[in-house]
Amino acid sequence: MKTLYLIRHAKSSWDDRDQTDFERPLNKRGEHDAPLMADTLNKKRIEPNLIISSPANRAFSTALIFAEKLNYDLNSVKTDDRIYEAGLRELISIVREINDQYNTVIIFGHNPGLTSFTNLLGDKFIPEMPTCSIVGLELDVAQWNLVERHCGKIFLFEYPKKLKIN
């Protein structure tokens, strides 16, 4: 059994129109929501063995906030360029390449890829993952390279508005 958490980056800023999409930082709401959502995992005593993030500023910033709250070494947060603008093919490749020594993994990324990936793996349909949402999947596999369509059971779906923390 492997556990995968898919987390969409927190709300980002569109204030500086000269910034590329890749460079956009978190806005005030994102800076507020990320630590509170991270506390949701912390209260459940989630201890990730591996955190992988899109290198985009807003996703990586969200990952670092979660890592700090979860007492995960900030220097151990990995980035994978494929997560930025990833579709199903890229996301399943990334997951299938995870070393089997890791049982609990968190991936930080973007929509629409994360929502599509959640629906590919999970047993319930989620219409959209809002910003800073968390989906927890229990994957019925012993090895990451065996991950396939509908091998997961969604046991967690939380997002800021659901928790009324905005």
Interval 132-143: pLDDT, tens: 999 999 999 999
The CATH number for 88's domain is: 3.40.50.1240
The domain in which residue 54 lies consists of: 2-137+151-163
Q: Judge whether 142 lies within some domain.
A: no
Chain centroid to Cα 38, Å, comes to: 11
Q: Yes or no: say if 105 and 98 are a contact pair by the CB < 8 Å rule.
A: yes
What's the confidence (pLDDT) of residue 17? Answer: 84
Query: Are 104 and 51 within 8 A, CB to CB?
Result: no
Mean per-residue pLDDT for 14-34? Answer: 91
What is the residue type of 160? P
Q: Residue 145 falls within a domain, yes or no?
A: no
Q: What is the mean pLDDT of residues 4-30?
A: 92
Cα(33)–Cα(165) distance, rounded to whole angstroms? Answer: 7
To the nearest 10°, report the CA torsion of 46, 49, 52, 57.
60
Residue 119, pLDDT > 60, answer yes
Q: How many Cβ atoms are within 10 Å of 119's Cβ, its own excluded?
A: 19
Q: Is 120 within the bounds of a domain? A: yes
Q: Name the domain count of the chain.
A: 1
Other CB atoms within 10 Å distance of the CB of residue 141? 18
Average pLDDT rounded to a whole number, residues 30-36: 96
Say whether pTM exceeds 0.85: yes
In a domain, 76, yes or no: yes
pLDDT tier, 164 (very low <50, low <70, confident <90, very high otherwise): low
Strands 134-139 and 104-109: unpaired
Whether 143 maps to a domain, the answer reads: no
**From the centroid of its chain, how far is CA 83?**
10
Strands (E) across the chain are located at 2-8, 50-53, 78-79, 104-109, 134-139, 152-158
Task: Give the closest residue to 27 by CA, choosing from 10, 43, 41, 52.
Answer: 10
The confidence band for 22, taking pLDDT boundaries of 50, 70 and 90, is very high
Whether pLDDT at 61 is above 90: yes
Identity of the amino acid at 141: V
